Amino acid sequence: MGSQTPQTQTFRWKEFEAVEPLFAEVVRERFLLYKHHVLATLRADGSPRVTGLEVEIRGGELWLGMMPNSRKAYDLRRDPRFAVQANPGPDAEMADGDVRISGRAVEVVDPGELARYADEVHPPEPFLLFRAELTEVVHTGLDKETEEIVLRAWRPGSALRTIRRGGGMEPPREIA
């Protein structure tokens, strides 16, 4: 299993896939729709920084690649917490929903692992590579039939939760 701190348990992509294979496939497919996504990191003063990047899901891992000396790399080296949102697409419809992954980024420094990644992905050289340890995966979509927002959320060690919310005053309800 992934690492665990007093505050947050983490899973690697392959562990997430093992416990929630259908949900993991929905998330993977959403990230495959576009090449560039949005990464949120924390600046030294604690304020958020939002930047674009490419996400790779391969070999049982979720990878975050970036150029050396990028501000997001400095952010992740100082504080590994991040959130990455799949590109929402070209219009307001978001037919495939919204996907967000939160976690901790672990920098890959092993030359062999970096070389294997470079051979498979062919990133611009030089590059930095971080492996994601997941703390939360969320998919938000619209059920067109009932006109409800459907939020599915997963955290390591917990079951997948589904929450439905209509457009009226009724409270959200969790579906077992």
| Digit-coded pLDDT (tens) for 67-97 | 999 999 999 999 999 999 999 887 766 677 8
Average pLDDT per run of 10 along the chain, which is 176 residues long? 58 96 96 94 96 94 94 97 92 80 97 95 93 97 89 95 87 81
173 three-class SS: strand
173 class by beta-carbon count within 10 Å (0-12 exposed, 13-18 middle, 19+ buried): exposed
Q: Using CA atoms in the order 136, 16, 81, 33, what is the torsion angle rounded to 10 degrees?
A: -80
pLDDT score at 4: 46
pLDDT score at 5: 43
pLDDT score at 92: 66
pLDDT score at 86: 95
The residue count for the chain: 176
Q: How far apart are CA 85 and CA 40, in angstroms?
A: 8
Stated as kind and residue range, the H or E segment containing 153 is strand 148-154
